[in-house]
Amino acid sequence: MAIRLIHVVPGPSKAAELNAIANNGIVRIDSPADLADPNLVGVNVVFDTSTFKLHTRRAAGVGADKWSA
C-alpha cells in the first residue's frame, strides 16, 4: 500500500481536487484550525504541518470534532 502526500494550493479547484484524493491520499494542512475547513468534508486523512500529527476522520460532516489524532 502506498500513501501519497498531496498539498493542494488554494484556488477555484480546491474542493474538486480534495474530493479526487479523499480515499487514497493525505491532505496537508497548516494548523489544527484547518480541520474545520468545509473543503475537507470528503477527506479521510490529513497531516498537520504545525504539530506533525496525522489526523483521521472519525465521523462524517464538517468540524474539528470529527477528527482524531
1-22 pLDDT, tens digit each? 345 666 666 666 666 666 666 5
Q: Which domain range does residue 53 map to? A: 4-68
Residue matched to cell numbers 484550525: 33
CB 44 within 8 A of CB 57: yes
> Is the model more confident about 5 or about 52?
52
Helix (H) / strand (E) containing 53: strand 53-57
Predicted pLDDT at 20:
67
Q: How many domains does the chain divide into? A: 1
C-alpha distances out from residue 26 to 23, 29, 37, Å: 9, 10, 15
